[in-house]
Each structure stands twice: as C-alpha cells, then as structure tokens.
Amino acid sequence: MKTTKGLQRHTPLRRQALGRVPKMAQPDGATEAVNVLAFPKRKKALRKSRPKMTPLRKSAKDEGCTIQKVGACLYDPKTVALAHLRWLGDCGGSLKPTDLQAVYACTGCNRWTDSPTPAETADRAAYEAERNFYCLRALVRTQLRMVAKGLITVKGMAA
C-alpha cells in the first residue's frame, strides 16, 4: 500500500487586511481615493459596550414575575429580570426597546415570550393572542410597581 504525505503548500499564504475588499484597478490613479473613502482609519480601538444598568433594570431585583404564564412561570423572584418586549416595535438589529417597554419576567416567562417551542406555536394566531394578553397585563403591572417605587413619575396622577 502506498502512503502519501498530507498536502503541503510550496508558497506561504498572503495576509489580507480584515474587512477590506481586494483592490480593483481604478482609472487615473483613483484607487487610493476610493480606499480612503471606503475604509477610513479608526482613531481609537472600538470598545465593547455592556448594557447600562439603569435604575429601572436594577429595580427588577427580587421582584415577582408580572407575566405569570401558567405552565411557563417559575414563580421565583431570584430569576426575575427586566425583559424587553421586542415584538412591540421600536427596536431592531442590535437595538433594544426602551425600558418603558419592558416587564418584570422570570426566566421561564421570558423564554416563552422570546422563543416559544414549535408545539407552543402550532397555532400561531392563538399563541400571539395569548402572548399579547399576558404581556400587556404584565406591562401595566410593571409600570404600576415602578410608579409606586418612584422610578416613574406621571404628572397629574394621584398617589
């Protein structure tokens, strides 16, 4: 039986700058101008930003879940966080909605609203109607708790 060595390169690989397209031939020396416009040099290295811990996000600690979906809720205040309701709009890509579009949700209810199982969404219209009911009720409950804590103030509202 004949054995062979693994494939080997005779010439080293060339390094290419990440995020750049190969240079294309530009008439009358415009290549450099195109590169300057298309790929401006960064002045500082990009910092990775973390979500800011706003007072509204901090207020979720040791709160009770306001969604309380039967079968999904854990009823454990230790797992509650401020869950943003993305399906209400005002978000996309890497943007979160404002903290006013968020509810106190345990990890079970948060999973149910964000990524339901295929069995839960077999009837999509029924799932969305149920989600809308629970989340709208939770939004009102959460905002009333925030008003009671003094985190949200409403002009003209009797305390």
Q: Could you write out the three-class secondary structure of 86-126?
A: HHHCCCECCECCCHHHEEEECHHHHHHHHCCCCCCCCCHHH
What is the amino acid identity at position 4? T
Q: What is the pLDDT of residue 50?
A: 66
User: If you count them, how many residues does the chain have?
Assistant: 159
pLDDT band at 52 (very low <50, low <70, confident <90, very high): confident
The 10s digit of each residue's pLDDT in 97-148 is: 888 899 999 999 999 998 889 998 899 999 999 999 999 999 999 999 999 9
